[in-house]
């Protein structure tokens, strides 16, 4: 694949976004893996805990609000059904979790390549060129030359014009294009 100037600029502009995506993907991977680790596990409560959780409270038969003649006795139902509630099985969808983990790993790999590529480019050009590209594209999304001029003057204690910075940017992108278009 042959890269052009706009491709380089777009990758530089999206660099911070990609770093943020990578962190979010890692967090989601951790959460999915944690859920997968507990999927299918059995948790066993004590009989007292189950009965307490089933909120055993009796109701008098004459105050039972019912539209039918069927009367439900909560105490009787608890006494009959609490043994079924002692074992709780975590019924997470293991196939879904595995699929999401695979999808996120593939996405993370793709983003890792983009991040590594941009870091490699900035490492292979000279310091001032890398500074201009970083300030213009990564920190300002290619929009604000005045901020780049101010930060350049603060960093290098040298007055510079927008035209000079544009020339530096163009040289830097040409160096990057020589690297990537082999």
pLDDT tens for 58-75 read: 555 555 555 665 556 666
**Which pLDDT score is estimated for 55?**
59
Q: What is the pLDDT of residue 87?
A: 59
Q: What's the pLDDT score for residue 60?
A: 53
What is the rounded CA–CA span in Å between residue 37 and residue 31? 10
pLDDT of the residue at 76: 62
Q: What's the pLDDT score for residue 155? A: 92
117 class by beta-carbon count within 10 Å (0-12 exposed, 13-18 middle, 19+ buried): middle
pLDDT < 70 positions in the chain = 40-91
What is the pLDDT at residue 47? 62
Contact 51, 78 (CB under 8 A): yes
Query: What is the C-alpha to C-alpha distance for residues 154 and 68, in angstroms, rounded to an integer?
Result: 82
* pLDDT per position as a tens digit, 19-52: 999 999 999 999 999 888 877 655 566 666 656 6
Is there a contact between 147 and 131 (Cβ–Cβ < 8 Å)?
Answer: no
Residues sharing a CB contact under 8 Å with residue 79, sequence separation 6 or more, in sequence order: none
Tell me if 85 sits within 8 A of 120, measured CB to CB: no
Alpha helices (runs of H) in the chain, residue ranges in sequence order:
5-13, 15-38, 47-53, 74-85, 94-124, 127-133, 145-156, 162-180
């Amino acid at each position: 694949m042959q890269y052009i100037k706009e491709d380089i600029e777009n990758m530089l502009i999206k660099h911070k976004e990609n770093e943020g995506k990578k962190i979010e993907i890692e967090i989601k991977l951790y959460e999915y893996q944690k859920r997968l680790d507990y999927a299918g596990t059995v948790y066993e409560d004590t009989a007292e805990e189950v009965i307490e959780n089933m909120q055993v409270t009796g109701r008098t038969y004459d105050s039972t609000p019912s539209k039918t003649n069927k009367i439900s006795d909560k105490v009787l139902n608890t006494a009959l059904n609490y043994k079924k509630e002692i074992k709780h099985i975590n019924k997470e969808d293991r196939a879904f979790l595995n699929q999401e983990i695979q999808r996120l790993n593939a996405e993370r790999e793709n983003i890792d390549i983009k991040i590594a590529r941009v870091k490699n480019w900035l490492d292979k050009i000279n310091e001032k060129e890398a500074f201009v590209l970083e300030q213009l594209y990564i920190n300002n999304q290619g929009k604000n030359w005045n901020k780049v001029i101010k930060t350049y003057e603060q960093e290098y204690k040298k007055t510079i014009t927008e035209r000079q910075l544009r020339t530096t940017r163009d040289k830097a992108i040409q160096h990057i294009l020589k690297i990537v278009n082999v």
